[in-house]
Structure 1
Amino acid sequence: MRIDLITLFPEMCEMVLGTSILGKAREKGIAELQALNFRDYANNKHHSVDDTPYGGGGGMVLKPEPIFAAVEDLLHKVYTDPETGRTVSGEPHTAPSGRPPRIILMCPQGRRYNQAIAEELAQESHLIFICGHYEGYDERIREHLVTDELSIGDYVLTGGELAALTVVDSVVRLQPGALGNETSAVTDSFSTGLLEYPHYTRPPEFRGWKVPDMLLSGHHANIEQWRREQALRRTLERRPDLLEQAELTDKDLRMLERIKAETGLS
């Protein structure tokens, strides 16, 4: 997988891309990660990338030229014809998978990001994130360049870098080999449609608080059932809305009814 971030602050992105799971994935060659400064593509002597909005109003708006130029230059540099070895110059540019890259705009108006979208994006071979600043983007970027618009929540940040890095982290960790334990991503909250069950480790007792006896029993089938019940209980208590779309078995439904009777929740 290749992921590019187009930003005014590549140094900010590099601090995250070179650290922890992302840094290890980069070192192992699991994911090629880079940040590109679109100010380098400004077509004026002052290298300005923003201007005042037509029609008036506060704030500054990102100009289309440098962002279009950065994306197009990136695509020309990355992709070559597999038969001739020459740079691909026509539209649409396609990734080695045969699919065009996903060009993602991080903005509050975008589709609300969730684990299902992370799993969807993890199947792609190339993602490009556009990280903006200031008041907003020239609408032509949204209409004629991007393929996706994503939002990580109903609030506004000073720039798109933190939002994009959040998405990148959630996508890269799903790549084979990125995590030390391949089952970790499978059992994460939201991956199963439910919140994750609670975890415990040594010591078995800490300040009088004990690990549940079931987890010390060594009976793997009973432990799995306990974990499933705890996931259902935690989801009912904290995010009951998730239960409406979760894929539940008849056994799950019976456990859920028992939990509701015990807790008085509905």
Structure 2
Amino acid sequence: MSFHAPSFRATVLTLFPEMFPGPLGLSLAGRALEQGIWSLEARDIRASATDRHRTVDDHPAGGGAGMVLKPDVLAAAIDAAPSEGPRLLMSPRGEPLTQGLVRELAAGPGCLIVCGRFEGVDERVIEKRGLREVSIGDYVLSGGEPAALVLLDAIVRLLPGVMGKQASGEEESFEGGLLEHPHYTKPNSWEGVEIPGILLSGDHKAIARWKQERREALTRERRPDLWQRHKTGKI
């Protein structure tokens, strides 16, 4: 296999580099990683600590529970890391991760992802190093690593050459602002339920119309917020 420069370079700053590539080393993402379509480097934040105990956190100013990642250590880790594209911080208070943001990132050269731990990251690092905060949902994790894996999985599958058929991503949930239509396969009859006849008709225009109608109906029913944005064109 001939080597070629990755189209997307991901660098992750974490206290647990052994968590990577994790599931990203399997299936489509793992195959693309082996083929050199994208690259991943997980760097240990502790390597930038300067004391003999490799201290990375301290008590929050003003009191409170937990610990906060030290600004000098984290900033040094960021400065030492190769950085292509935006610098991201996985954070529950960040902007929501959407398919639009995923497409934006996948179109770039790569990104640097900071994975927080403890109670969070010193605000001065976020400001001084221009970290863009991104959230994968309205809940709190033990650290940013699982969120980083989610983000990278979503990005990598959109890179050229990763999915077998480019069209396979065009009708997925959130593409065009709608949820995905239902899917069926053989056997045609299973536990008394038949595949909708239109899907077996061979009428491609009618099938496309059915898929679009189901996408709209499901979005109206399950995600009225998405449906409202779709109607107003604010996708």
Whether TM-score is above 0.5 comes out as yes
Q: Deviations over 1:4-63 (max 9, x none)?
A: 111111111221221222211111211111211111111110011111122222111101
Partner of 2:24 in structure 1? 17
Partner of 1:50: 57
Question: What stretches of structure 1 move > 4 A for 4+ residues in a row?
Answer: none
The alignment status of 1:171 with 2:155, answered yes or no, reads yes
CA spacing shift, 1:69–1:118, aligned 2, 3 Å? same
The AA in structure 1 aligned to 2:96 is R
- In the alignment, the residues of structure 1 paired with residue 109 and residue 77 of structure 2 have an alpha-carbon distance, to the nearest angstrom, of 19
Gaps of 5+ in 1: 79-94, 96-100, 250-266
The percentage of counterpart residues that share the same residue type is 45
Q: Distance in 1 between matches of 2:28 and 2:70?
A: 34
SS, match of residue 192 in structure 1: helix
CA distance in 1: counterparts of 2:130 and 2:123, whole angstroms: 11
* Matched residue SS, 2:230: coil
Query: Residues 51 and 62 of structure 1 are in contact (CA less than 8 Å); yes or no, is this contact kept in structure 2?
Result: yes
Unaligned runs of 5+ in 2: 1-7
**1:216-235 residue pairs with structure 2 within 5 A?**
216-235=200-219
* In 2, Cα distance between equivalents of 1:130 and 1:241: 30
- Measured in 2, the distance between the counterparts of 1:17 and 1:140 equals 31
Q: Take 2:153 and 2:231, find their aligned partners in 1: how far apart are those partners?
A: 26
Match of 1:72 among 79, 93, 99: 79
Alpha-carbon shift at residue 248 of structure 1 (Å):
8.3
How many residues in Structure 1 have an aligned counterpart in Structure 2?
226
1:215 aligns with 2:222: no
CA distance in 2, matches of 1:67, 1:121: 23
- Aligned residue for 2:133, secondary structure, equals strand
Which one of the candidate residues 5, 27, 31 is aligned to 2:12? 5
Partner Cα separation in structure 1 for residue 219 and residue 17 of structure 2: 38
Which deviations, in whole Å up to 9, do the C-alpha atoms of 1:115-146 show, x marking residues without a partner?
Answer: 11111111110201000110111111111113
Mark the structure with the bigger radius of gyration.
1
Q: Name 1:139's counterpart in structure 2.
A: 123
Query: How far apart, CA to CA, are the structure 2 residues paired with 1:247 and 1:36?
Result: 44
Which of 162, 174, 183 is the matching residue for 2:167? 183
Deviations 1:220-252 (A, max 9, x none): 111111111111111111112212222689xxx
Determine if the alignment matches structure 1 residue 160 to structure 2 residue 167: no
Paired residues for 1:33-44 under 5 Å: 33-44=40-51
Cα RMSD over matched residues? 1.6
Alignment CA distance shift 1:108-1:190 (3 Å): same
- Distance in 1 between the 2:182 and 2:39 partners? 34
**Contact preservation (8 Å) 1:4, 1:129:** yes
